[in-house]
Structure formats: structure tokens, C-alpha cells
């Protein structure tokens, strides 16, 4: 089929074992499956295997007696008819589910297919109605197709304003999608019709933006022209932000009739695209040209800031000096642009930290105060300033700012970090009783978090260890954990029974989808969450396991005891391939729990994992790195070998051992695993002497800093759940 499909329509092709290929006439129904359930499973299997006519005929025959599987029969009957080219028949088969999508675990998928079928059958009113309903809670992977179908249906009914709104949103929200390219063609057609005296007059409003609200009486309908210069710039910038920088460059390479201001903006967007493509030198030069076009314009300040970011990727001292000068120039400009001043001050402080100039970094961080920026950015600035007070020895100032942080940003992820570092500052001031209280405050709120682990270690060092019994502060209710008693629920019981029926009928993957739907609909039900976690784990769907676990048991994961979390241990913190890991680490002194946590973070123990950058297997090794390490170990390695857990773990642990030995600390080795050895080495030169904890806190890259913390916290959880 030429459109993206929901997972329920791709199960046969994706190898997830949906219908265990119940061959015609072969096998016997098992468990609770009925003859009608068995026939339904056979029909579903045939449709998914591509035999749409036989499957649709079988499902049509069984539909009236499918019982609890009536929605399954209707959905796959519609899919079968759609695949066989009977769009009108598909829309009719799917209509019941599409009209009430909340009634079935297949309802949203049925609505999506019904939109496609009705549109192809020319039933535009139905297609548009279903599309409007579906878009209230759109799934990103499928949304572009629905926006396109909504535009086509609206245009076919003469609803040009609606069609134009749909097309503009599609073009800018998914600028490089196949559906967006088709939508842009339709938008051009609507504009041409308007220009030649059709229903809509082709006008390019200022900025290419259609004014809100319906057109007034007698007013010409404005079209969305994707080729208007202003819209080309919007599309190109959206491509950069949506991960298609090469497409953005190709779009900007055309002739668009930019005026001087638009030409400068085009250079700016081109610089952002080059940065995303990791062509940092070319990006820096492009940003410099954008700033030079009109040095006093607001865009110039942002261009200078982005040029500075490009230079930060260099290891050349002159480039870093130029970066500092650019950021200071931005901060000295008279233009009041709080978001720009915030990012410039924060990056200047981070650069100075990286170079070991902590007092200067604190002065730069001081420029963050009072800026009207988002709470997230304000919190980042406040945390950096507070830590720099600690680093520069201003412990009294650190205590004040660290105490204020949780009050100002109570929901920020670093609130417990502030409590922990306040304890460190109090201890440095010789106030151990207050320090212990601060550590206990950090520990009692989320005892399974990174900072709780640090606080517990600090308490132990003071001789005031807090054990596994500290589970929650008095201001929070006890967490929901697996195995706790809960009241009976007819809805939950029905969902569990249906999932069992689907599995017994030979459709285990559909059973997992039903449990996922039920667990999302009733997130307070521990029984549904556990059933879905077990089913998703059996399917190898680790992402689904984590989503359900955090949705229902998030409080338990943060505050539960080892006994509370025991039912979740194997699913969320597996120790797969333990023998391989322990043997590979023999004599290194590295805790195996660090490597389990590393594998969990990199691949979640999926030996088939391949990253977008080409890293392979459990420990996400780049093939060239693996070959080089294999040469050191005396083994020849091909890319295909990296999917073998034994090979991947042997090479990965050898590589990690080498990194730990050369980096100078475990935190630096982990940082190098994520950001590259050269970058981690530069951080060690700048602030490695402050110790591992402050090294982790001051890592300038948010992704890398969070990566190191997650692996440290994961290792702590492994130790807690399995025992040291």
C-alpha cells in the first residue's frame, strides 16, 4: 500500500508473530478460543499475509457470530477490502468503529483507514468528518496523511478556507513528508484556480500567513502558496527543526525572489541546516554572512550566537576565543531580547567552565537573573549559578541559592539536585546536622533517583546511613506498586478476558494491543498495567513496557522499595547475558551493574538494535570501532557479527575498559562513550579536577550530562534490586 499504516495493519509484515500462520485447515484452536474466534484468526492471518480476498470473505462470513471479536472481524474485513481495492466496501465495513473510535482498541486505527477509504471512494463528507475527529488526538507518524486527506475532502466540497488551513499546517508541520509534497501540489492548484478567476483568489498575504477566522462577506479566499518567498523560508526552517536539513538546503538553493531581509534570513536558516549536518565550519561562515547583512537587525544577534555555537565544536583555541568574543558581543548589545541573552549568557558560562575559569563563569551566569524566559530555561540558569557558587567556594551563597531553587521550581527535575548540593554546601560550612537533614530531604522524596543515591552515600559517609526503608516524604501519598490490592472492575476484567481470547485464538500481538489500549484508558489499574508489561515484553516491545510502567507505576519506580519493585525487575532492569558481562569485566574493577545499565541505556538489551548513526547491537558499537577493537583482541569482526551478544559484549566491554583506563574517571569514560573521547578529555582538562560528581554536573551538553546520570542511577537500581 502507498500510505503509512498503523501497527495493527502491519503485524504480519513486521515479524511480530501476530497470527502464528494458522495454515488453512491446519492446527486446532486452543484455550478459550471458539470456532468463530478461530475463523476470525484465520481471516485476520490471510488479510495480513496479503490474501485479502480470501480473508475478507472469511471475515464477512463470521462477522455476525464473532462475539467478543466482532471489532477485530470488522476492522480486518475493512482492511482486506481496502487492500483489494474496494474502497467503498472498506469504508462501510469500518464505519461502525470509525464513528465510535473510543469503543474499541482498534477504533482509532479503523477511523484512520476509514478516512483513506472514504476519500478514495469520493465520499468526502464522511472522510472530512472522520478526519476532524481523528486529528483531535493525532498519532504523529500517521498525521500527515490525515491532514492531506482532510484538505482533499474539504477542497472537493468547496471549503477552500478549510482546505487552505489544512494544507498550510501540513506543509509547515511535516515539511519533508510525502504527504506534504502532495499537499503543496494541491495548494498550488488552488492558488492557480484563484488566479484564473476560480473560487479562491490567489493572494500572498504579508508573511504568507492566512489571517485567522472565516473570510468576510464578499472577501476573496486567500490561498496558501508554498512557493511564496516567506513560505519557502518557513518551510526550510521547519525542515531543519524536523530533522531534514539536507532537504532544507535543497529548497533554499532554488530561485525564490527573496528581498534583502529574506535573503539574510535564508542565510541564517542555511547555517542552521549546515550545523545539523555537522558541517560546523561552513555553518559558522554562513552565520557570519547572515549577521553581516544587517548588523543592527535582531536576526544578527541570533546569527552571532549560532556562529558561537558552531565554534564550540572546534578544539582550536582561537575558535574558542572567537566564541567568547561573539557571546560577549551579543550580551553587550543594546537590544532587549531575553531569550537571546539567556542562551548567550548560559553558553558563555558553560564555555568558561569548560576552560576552568569558574569565577568568570559565575559572573556570566549572573547575567541570567531577571530575564523573562521560560521556566525551564530559568531553572537551568539558576542551577548553574548555584553550582558555580559552590565551585568558587561561596558556600553561604550556594546554600541560599540552593535552598531557593526547589521553592521557585518545585517540579523541576533538578529540585532534588539542589537539595543534595545544599547538603554538600552545609557540610562544607561545618554544619553536619543541617547537612544530614538536607540529604534526607533529597533521599526521602525519590529514593530511587540519581540524587537520592548520592545523598544516601553522603549519609553513609557521615555515619547516618538511611536504608531501603526510606520510601517517601510525609507530603506525598504512598506510591502505586504492583501486587497491591485494588477493587474489582468489570471493565478491567473484560479487557483481560479479551486479551486472553485473542492470544488463545492465535493473535497474541492483537492481545498486546488490546492490553495497551486498556492500560492507557485505565492507568490506575495495576492489573492491566502488569498484564500489558508482560505481553509487551514477550513481543520484545521494550518501549511499550517502559511507557506503561512509568504511566502506572511511576511513583513506585521513584519511591518503591526493592520488594515493591520485584514484579517489575526482570522487565525493567534485566540482567541478560550476565555471564558474558561478568567474564568480560574480570580483573577490571568495573562494577558489572555499570555495564548492565549501559546496555540498558544504549539498546535495552535488544541485540538487533541499530541507531540512526549506524551503531549496532547491545552496546551500540560503530562497525569501525568494533573492527579496531577486534584487531587488538586478535579477532576478525564484520558488521553482522555485532548482532551476536557474545561478540558485541566482548568488544564493547573491552572498548569501555579502555575508555575507563584512559579517561581518568568513570564519569569521564561514560561522557566519552556518549559525546566522544576528545570532547570528554577537554572537559577533564577544564573541570575534571573538581571530582566525579561536579564533573557530571558541569558537563555542558545536556544530553551527555543526563546520559551519565541515568547510567549511574541505573547501576544503583541494579544493586538495590538484585543485591550487591
Exactly one of 342, 354, 602, 697 is catalytic; name it: 602
Residue 648's closest CA among 677, 612, 623?
623
Residues 6 or more apart in contact with residue 197 via CB below 8 angstroms: none
Q: Is 602 a catalytic residue?
A: yes
- Cα-based distances in Å from 100 to 6, 108, 306: 18, 9, 49
Query: Quick count: other Cβ atoms within 10 Å of Cβ 143?
Result: 20
Distance of CA 97 to the CA centre of its chain: 30
> Distance (Å, rounded) from C-alpha 724 to C-alpha 717?
10
DSSP string, 301-342: HHHHHHHHHHHHT---HHHHHHHHHHHHHHHHSS---HHHHH
The count of C-alpha atoms lying within 13 angstroms of the C-alpha of 57, restricted to the half-sphere facing its C-beta, is 3
Say if residues 369 and 338 touch (Cβ distance below 8 Å): no
Burial tier of 314 (Cβ tally within 10 Å: 0-12, 13-18, 19+): middle
Over the range 664-690, which residues count as b (16 or more CB within 10 Å of their CB) and which as e? bbbbbbbbbbbbebebbbbbbebbbeb
What's the CA angle centered on 175, arms 543 and 142, to 5 degrees? 40
What's the CA angle centered on 203, arms 201 and 207, to 5 degrees? 155
> Distance (Å, rounded) from C-alpha 96 to C-alpha 70?
11
Residue 497's closest CA among 530, 448, 455, 531?
531
Residues 6 or more apart in contact with residue 358 via CB below 8 angstroms: 352, 388, 391, 392, 687
Cell of 46: 490471510
Distance of CA 640 to the CA centre of its chain: 28
Say if residues 249 and 286 touch (Cβ distance below 8 Å): no
Burial tier of 2 (Cβ tally within 10 Å: 0-12, 13-18, 19+): exposed
Active site residues: 602
Amino acid at each position: 500500500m502507498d500510505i503509512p499504516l498503523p501497527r495493527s495493519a502491519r503485524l504480519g509484515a513486521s515479524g511480530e508473530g501476530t497470527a502464528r500462520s494458522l495454515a488453512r485447515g491446519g492446527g486446532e484452536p486452543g484455550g478459550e478460543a471458539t470456532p468463530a474466534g478461530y475463523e476470525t484468526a484465520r481471516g485476520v492471518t490471510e488479510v495480513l499475509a496479503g490474501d485479502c480476498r480470501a480473508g475478507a470473505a472469511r471475515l464477512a462470513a463470521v462477522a455476525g457470530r464473532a462475539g467478543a471479536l466482532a471489532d477485530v472481524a470488522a476492522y480486518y474485513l475493512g482492511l482486506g477490502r481496502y487492500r483489494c481495492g474496494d474502497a467503498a466496501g472498506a469504508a462501510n465495513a469500518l464505519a461502525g468503529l470509525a464513528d465510535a473510535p473510543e469503543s474499541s482498541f482498534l477504533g482509532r486505527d479503523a477511523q484512520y483507514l476509514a478516512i483513506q477509504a472514504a476519500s478514495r471512494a469520493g465520499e468526502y463528507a464522511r472522510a472530512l468528518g472522520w478526519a476532524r475527529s481523528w486529528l483531535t488526538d493525532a498519532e504523529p507518524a500517521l498525521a500527515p496523511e490525515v491532514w492531506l486527506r482532510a484538505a482533499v475532502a474539504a477542497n472537493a466540497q468547496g471549503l477552500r478556507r478549510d482546505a487552505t488551513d489544512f494544507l498550510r499546517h501540513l506543509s509547515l508541520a511535516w515539511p519533508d513528508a510525502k504527504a506534504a509534497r502532495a499537499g503543496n501540489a494541491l495548494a498550488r492548484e488552488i492558488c492557480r484556480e484563484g488566479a484564473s478567476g476560480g473560487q479562491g483568489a490567489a493572494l500572498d498575504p504579508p508573511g504568507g500567513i492566512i489571517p485567522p477566522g472565516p473570510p468576510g462577506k464578499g472577501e476573496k479566499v486567500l490561498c496558501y502558496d508554498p512557493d511564496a518567498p516567506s513560505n519557502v523560508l518557513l518551510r526550510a526552517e521547519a525542515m531543519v527543526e524536523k530533522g531534514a536539513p539536507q532537504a532544507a538546503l535543497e529548497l533554499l538553493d532554488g530561485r525564490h525572489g527573496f528581498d534583502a531581509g529574506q535573503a539574510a534570513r535564508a542565510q541564517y536558516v542555511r547555517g542552521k541546516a549546515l550545523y545539523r549536518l555537522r558541517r560546523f565550519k561552513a555553518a559558522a561562515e554562513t552565520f557570519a554572512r547572515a549577521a553581516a547583512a544587517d548588523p543592527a537587525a535582531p536576526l544578527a544577534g541570533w546569527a552571532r550566537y549560532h556562529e558561537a555555537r558552531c565554534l564550540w565544536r572546534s578544539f582550536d583555541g582561537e575558535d574558542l576565543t572567537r566564541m567568547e568574543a561573539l557571546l560577549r558581543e551579543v550580551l553587550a548589545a543594546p537590544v532587549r531580547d531575553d531569550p537571546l541573552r539567556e542562551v548567550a549568557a548560559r553558553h558563555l558560562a558553560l564555555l568558561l567552565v569548560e576552560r576552568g575559569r569558574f569565577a568568570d563563569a559565575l559572573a556570566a551566569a549572573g547575567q541570567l537573573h531577571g530575564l523573562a524566559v521560560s521556566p525551564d530555561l530559568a531553572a537551568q540558569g539558576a542551577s548553574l549559578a548555584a553550582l558555580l557558587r559552590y565551585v568558587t567556594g561561596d558556600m553561604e551563597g550556594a546554600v541560599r541559592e540552593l535552598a531557593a531553587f526547589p521553592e521557585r521550581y518545585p517540579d523541576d527535575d533538578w529540585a532534588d539536585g539542589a537539595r543534595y548540593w545544599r547538603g554538600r554546601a552545609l557540610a562544607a560550612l561545618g554544619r553536619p546536622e543541617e547537612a544530614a537533614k538536607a540529604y534526607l530531604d533529597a533521599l526521602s522524596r525519590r529514593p530511587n533517583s540519581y540524587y537520592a543515591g548520592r545523598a544516601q552515600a553522603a549519609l553513609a559517609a557521615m555515619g547516618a546511613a538511611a536504608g531501603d526503608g526510606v520510601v517517601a516524604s510525609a507530603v506525598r501519598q504512598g506510591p502505586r506498586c504492583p501486587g497491591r490490592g485494588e477493587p474489582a472492575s468489570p471493565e478491567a476484567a473484560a479487557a483481560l478476558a479479551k486479551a486472553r481470547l485473542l492470544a488463545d485464538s492465535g493473535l497474541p500481538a492483537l492481545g498486546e494491543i488490546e492490553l495497551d489500549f486498556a492500560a492507557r484508558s485505565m492507568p490506575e489499574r495495576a492489573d492491566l498495567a502488569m498484564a500489558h508489561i508482560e505481553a509487551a515484553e514477550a513481543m520484545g516491545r521494550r518501549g511499550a513496557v517502559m511507557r506503561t510502567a512509568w504511566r502506572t507505576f511511576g511513583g513506585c519506580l521513584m519511591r518503591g522499595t526493592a520488594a515493591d519493585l520485584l514484579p517489575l525487575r526482570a522487565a525493567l532492569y534485566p540482567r541478560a547475558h550476565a555471564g558474558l558481562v561478568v567474564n568480560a569485566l574480570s580483573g577490571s574493577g568495573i562494577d558489572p551493574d555499570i555495564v548492565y545499565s549501559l546496555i540498558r541505556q544504549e539498546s535495552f538489551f535488544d541485540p538487533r538494535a541499530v541507531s540512526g548513526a549506524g551503531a549496532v547491537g547491545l552496546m551500540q558499537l560503530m562497525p569501525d570501532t568494533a573492527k579496531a577493537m577486534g584487531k587488538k583482541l586478535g579477532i576478525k569482526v564484520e558488521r553482522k557479527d555485532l548482532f551476536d551478544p557474545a561478540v558485541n559484549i566482548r568488544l564493547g566491554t573491552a572498548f569501555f575498559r579502555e575508555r575507563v583506563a584512559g579517561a581518568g574517571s568513570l564519569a569521564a569514560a561514560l561522557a566519552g562513550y556518549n559525546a566522544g573521547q576528545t570532547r570528554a578529555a577537554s572537559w577533564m582538562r577544564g573541570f575534571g579536577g573538581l571530582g566525579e560528581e561536579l564533573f557530571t554536573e558541569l558537563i555542558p551538553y545536556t544530553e551527555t550530562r543526563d546520559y551519565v546520570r541515568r547510567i549511574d542511577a541505573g547501576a544503583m537500581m541494579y544493586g538495590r534490586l538484585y543485591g550487591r
